[in-house]
Structure 1
Amino acid sequence: MLDHLNERMCEFVAQQEMFFLATADARGECDNTFRAGPPGFLRVLDTHTLAFPEYRGNGVHASLGNIQENPHLGILLVDFLNARIGLHVNGTARLVEDAAMRADHPDLPVDPVPGRRAELWVEVTVEEAYIHCSKHIPQFQKAPRRPARAWGTDDVRRKGGDYFGVAAGAATRAAKADAASAAKSGAAEAAPAAAPAKSGTPTDASPTPAPAPHAGTNPQPGGARNPGEAARPGREPAPTPASASAPGSAKSGGSGRLSASVLAWQREARRVLAEAEARGRTAARASEAAASHRHADRAGRADRAFQGWFTGTA
């Protein structure tokens, strides 16, 4: 184990197109992520210092957030293509603005594509450098580049979109929650009409007080709303005392205005629930279609059966 990079390590780093980055926050909760770029994107500034660019990514910023709380990090580089060997580099990091990094190192390349343009740099002071043996490293080979997924793309769909169905699932759950809330609101509106009379409260024969006006309304004669205010869908004006206590009203067991209002709310709740279920089915079908397309694409690109990781000569 070294506390710096020797000449062969520097050459190895300059050839790599990807590495794995481990960080942890102030509480020691860990994140592991993947970084990639053209060969040499992980720059060897000197035998004790590395630097890599931070491109615009998924917006989580877990690594950068961790580094601000805890500068210790671990880098693992693996050559799957040629040497089948790995290199561990552990050290401490600091975040550097792109302009400041270029002022200190004017030879840094500039890429004109926004998705491949560094926003920040992570500068790493090397504390440990040591080998990762080849015992369990598989042998890979490069596949032809697919133009539909160019490196550095900012296109959401080409970057993977909702590959694991998280957004579709969240939308379905939100729709169900909205439907449940609407149904609960309808049940709450129906509760006063269905509640049995308690001791000491007016009986059916007693004068019944008028229900409180709903928020945002100004009671008018006959239960009318404010002039120009649209009535809520499926809801009638609040009943007046006379209509609430009149024969045939909901309170006397008939089919008065309050019963009609309750039924309207129930219809509205059923409608919202049906719409939510329809949206959920549509999202599920879209997710299944996308998964089927991915499987078909992979099957079409498979030109030989899998023979195991460690077949052939070493």
Structure 2
Amino acid sequence: MARAFTKIAFTDHVKQVQSDMGSRALYQTLEHGVTDEVFIDARVKKFIEQQDSFYIATTNEDGWPYIQHRGGPKGFLKVLNETQIGFADFAGNRQYLTVGNIVGNNKVCLFLMNYAEKRRLKLWGRAELVHEQDNFSLVQQLEVAEFRAPVERGIVITLEAMDWNCPKYITPRYTQDEIAQFLVDD
């Protein structure tokens, strides 16, 4: 998995900065991993399915990046199989920046955080917009039964790389549910 990540993330400019800053030799070893295969193992699956939010990055046709927060109940980001994840695209502010960017360039990056455990996972992939009239069963699979926000479409992402990121500098934060659990446990 690390080799797939380096192929996407370590461009020539990145490698040059790594060389200039003295970290190139350390990161060059990741490029010689045994496989480019990217798959969702049990640890990654559990982490993904526990998320109640994530950030998705896209770029527009002028190359400008855009990052959007997506949220919902735990489990709204679903693991579909070993290489695909997806979510119901709930109606929002109707700017459609992420969706429009995906139409022009389907490359996306997701950033998943667990502040309480100081863990983060980066996922790179290609997004596909799935409309109910084209694939009703898939959109229905992505919906969250107890969350009644209007669903405009599904978004399915085929993963091309992933990387667990260093916990350094993550300030722990806790959800209301996590705080309530702490109070019950005491």
Partner of 2:96: 61
Specify the SS of the correspondent of 1:119: strand
3-state DSSP of counterpart to 1:22: strand
Matches within 5 A, 1:247-286: none
Mapped pair 1:22 → 2:57:
yes
Amino acid at match of 2:124: N
Measure the CA separation in 1 of the matches of 2:93 and 2:130. 20
Structure of greater relative contact order (alpha carbons < 8 Å, 6+ residues apart): 2
Are residues 1:95 and 2:129 paired?
Answer: yes
Can you list the C-alpha shifts for 1:218-276, whole angstroms capped at 9, x where unaligned? xxxxxxxxxxxxxxxxxxxxxxxxxxxxxxxxxxxxxxxxxxxxxxxxxxxxxxxxxxx
| Pairwise CA distance, 1:6 | 1.9
Name the SS of the counterpart of 2:94 in structure 1.
coil
Question: Structure 1 residues 97 and 124 mapped into 2: Cα distance closer, same or farther (>3 Å)?
Answer: same
- Which of 96, 120, 126 is the matching residue for 2:153? 120
**Other-structure match for 1:242:** none
Given that 2:115 and 2:171 are in contact with CA atoms closer than 8 Å, whether structure 1 keeps it comes out as yes
The structure-2 alpha-carbon separation of the partners of 1:110 and 1:12, relative to structure 1 and needing over 3 Å to count, comes to: closer
The structure in which a higher percent of residues are strand is 2
User: Shift in Å at residue 99 of structure 1?
Assistant: 4.9
Greater helix percent: which structure?
1
2:73 counterpart residue number: 38
- Aligned partner letter, 2:58: T
Shift of the alpha carbon at 1:27? 2.3
CA distance in 2, matches of 1:102, 1:68: 20
Per-residue deviation, 1:143 = 3.1
Identity across the alignment (%): 26
- Cα 1:4–1:110 change in 2 (3 A) is closer
Q: Distance in 2 between matches of 1:101 and 1:39?
A: 24
Aligned pair count?
A: 142
Bigger-Rg structure (1/2): 1
Amino acid paired to 2:120:
G
Task: Using the TM superposition, give the Cα deviation of residue 41 of structure 1 relative to its aligned residue in structure 2, in angstroms.
Answer: 0.6
Task: Tell me the C-alpha RMSD between the 2 structures.
Answer: 2.0
